[in-house]
Amino acid sequence: MKNRTIEKGYIVKLKAGHVIAEDPSARGFYRVTAIRCAYANLGPIFGRGVYYKSVPVASLQECQDEWYAGWQQSETYQCM
């Protein structure tokens, strides 16, 4: 899924060197819950809600494959 525009439902992470103004310590993976022009809302991968609003799309990187590879190694996934 390289070189694609970010869309609602994608799993993303922040690009290196980018921070979220509301929470500079934010790390990890998020699901895009909405896209508004050049901004996205980010929420949890599993569940509902919104963690961060109006995050510039230019600071996000799509990483579905990277997240899924890590998820497959988790104890939660392997106990399913």
2 domain-assigned: no
Computed over every residue of the chain, the mean pLDDT equals 88
Q: Would residue 27 count as lying in a domain?
A: yes
Q: What pLDDT is recorded for position 44?
A: 94
Q: Is 0.95 surpassed by the pTM of this model?
A: no
Is position 3 within any domain? no
Q: For the chain, which ranges sit under pLDDT 70? A: 1-4
Residue 69 token pair: 């590879």
- Residue 39 inside a domain? The answer is yes
d(CA 4, CA 71): 22
30-57 CB burial, b ≥16 within 10 A, e <16: bbbbebeeeebbbbeeeeeeebbeebeb
**Is 33 inside any structural domain?**
yes
For residue 32, the enclosing domain spans 11-73
Q: Radius of gyration of the chain from Cα atoms?
A: 13
Domain count of the fold of the chain: 1
